Chain A
Amino acid sequence: DGGITQSPKYLFRKEGQNVTLSCEQNLNHDAMYWYRQDPGQGLRLIYYSQIVNDFQKGDIAEGYSVSREKKESFPLTVTSAQKNPTAFYLCASSIVGRGQAKNIQYFGAGTRLSVL
């Protein structure tokens, strides 16, 4: 089955530690996205990538980094510079190009990050 796989489901970070969240998709989508979800605040865009080896900052990129070395993979690193990392992180993907189908994003099941 095609879809988006995020791992791990739960992750704990110690003070001063960098942690990496995995996102893999087999939908053959060119675009991938990372969102942060906090209670009562909806989803906020951290980073997005429309093609391999290229990515753009979203609305809350500070304290995060990403890479896009393969079409299928878009890992997110939460660095020690992110002072309030506790949240639910969601990865999504979509096609790129003309037509309304490009507006539909498909989501993974999420990773819940907590600080020890």
Chain B
Amino acid sequence: GDSVTQMEGPVTLSEEAFLTINCTYTATGYPSLFWYVQYPGEGLQLLLKATKADDKGSNKGFEATYRKETTSFHLEKGSVQVSDSAVYFCALSDPAETSGSRLTFGEGTQLTVNP
């Protein structure tokens, strides 16, 4: 079945450092890929998405590129802020779903940014 693997956390960075959180996936066909963010005590918010190979999703300075050849969707940000401290989830959606979609989530990566 489908699966998502994220780099192990937690990740601790200083403010203005470069961020990479690795995500690889296993799926049949061509899934849509997502990054969700969860701030402390809250639900998940969609951060960015990509629906086909070589698409780049971007939002709030975060970027991720859909790499079919390496089955990856790594999250990057050039300069992190303290307010980026949160848990980040990589997820995929099975394109074979013809109605409401099931998401398969990775384990989540806790990011802490220190001033």
**Which A residues are within 8 Å of any B CB, using their own CB?**
4, 6, 30-31, 33, 40-45, 48, 50, 58, 90, 92, 94-98, 100, 102-110
Contact = CB atoms under 8 A, between A and B. Distances in A.
Given A31-B99, A42-B4, A104-B46, 5 more contacts: A43-B89, A44-B105, A48-B102, A103-B51, A103-B103
B102 A107 contact: no
Contact of A45 (B34, B51, B102): B102
A96 B100 contact: yes
Contacts of B43: 4, 6, 90, 92, 107-110
Contact of A102 (B44, B49, B101, B108): B101
By Cβ-Cβ distance, the 8 closest A-B pairs, closest first, are A31-B100, A107-B43, A103-B93, A50-B100, A42-B105, A107-B44, A42-B107, A43-B105
A90 B99 contact: no
B45 interface: yes
B89 A105 contact: no
Bin chain B's interface residue count: 20 to 34
Contacts of A102: 97, 99-101
A109 B46 CA distance: 13
B42 interface: yes
B53 to A, nearest CB: 14
5 contacts: A31-B101, A50-B99, A94-B100, A95-B100, A105-B101
A104 B34 CA distance: 9
Interface of B: 4, 32, 34, 36, 41-46, 49, 51, 89, 93, 97-103, 105-108
Contacts of B89: 42-43
A100 B32 contact: yes
B42 A109 contact: yes
A102 to B, nearest CB: 6
Contacts of B32: 100, 103
